[in-house]
Amino acid sequence: MVEFMETHPNLAKDYVKCADAKQTSKHLWERLSEKLNGDGPPIRDMLSWKKVWADYETKIKAKARKNKLHMSGTGGGAAKVYSFNAVELRAFDLLQINQAVDGMVDAQKFGAGTSEVTQSYHCETTDPSTHNNISDLQNLEELPPFTPPYRPQTSPKCSTARSRTASKKNLLKKQVDGQMKFHNDCTKILQDVNYNSKSLVKYNKKLVEQNEEKIELERQKLKFAKLKHEYKIKSERERNNIRISKLKIKERILNVNIR
């Protein structure tokens, strides 16, 4: 990110000025976001990367202010100095933090020089990927030099605050949209589950009815078999009684003949 901002110092200071400054700034941030996301994770949208840069600038300024307070303190003892790493030092020089912290308001020092601006936009107009999107900048090198207007010391803070507010609103909107989508997806899933549950209940009910019919059929079969068995026993008993009666009659006849 710092390397890209060094190539586009005016974008780093949120000080893009041309015929189509807003579109140019947006296009540069889109390019940077695409590059950073390509090297990710993390993956963020354009507004989130703008917030990252704004927070990074605020962090470096806070360190510089603390160092200034400690160095100018009169309490005695060793001053507590916050160190900057190599990347922070590059951003420190790029953003001209000393001028912002010390209250220097020279426009040429706080902003970017004319040659710096021309060089930055010349790079943009010769980039094939941006030639069609920002055609207003094709002849920018022919424009007369300009001096950026005076920017009060509080302007970066206001810009950062506005950027943070816009980022928070955007993130809140995305969060609400995400929650609505999640709610709708959950509702659809629950509807599908409810439909499947009803179908399963209907199927189980039909299965139970079929099983009850099978059980009733088996009960009728058992009842018929029982009746058949009882009839068979009864018939066999009656046949035996007939045989016994016949034998008794024969016995009586024999006894009569013997006498």
Degrees (nearest 5) of the Cα angle 57, 59, 62? 110
Domain membership flag for residue 201: no
Is position 99 within any domain?
yes
In a domain, residue 250? The reply is no
Mean pLDDT, rounded, for 198-219 = 94
In contact, 97 and 64? CB cutoff 8 Å = yes
Decide if 164 is inside a domain.
Answer: no
- Taking the C-alpha atoms of residue 101 and residue 111, their distance in angstroms, rounded to an integer, is 14
Predicted pLDDT at 233 = 95
Tens digits of residue pLDDT in 26-79: 889 898 998 899 887 888 998 999 899 999 989 988 988 888 887 776 555 555
Using 50, 70 and 90 to split pLDDT, how confident is the model at 127? Answer: very low
Q: Is residue 40, in this structure, part of any structural domain at all?
A: yes
103 — pLDDT class (breaks 50, 70, 90)? low
Q: What is the domain extent for residue 78? A: 2-153
CB 6 within 8 A of CB 96: no
Residue 164's CB is within 10 A of a number of other CB atoms, namely 15
**What total of structural domains would you count in the chain?**
1
- Nearest partner of 5 among 63, 90, 106, judged by Cα: 90
pTM over 0.85: no
Q: Please report whether residue 72 resides in a domain.
A: yes
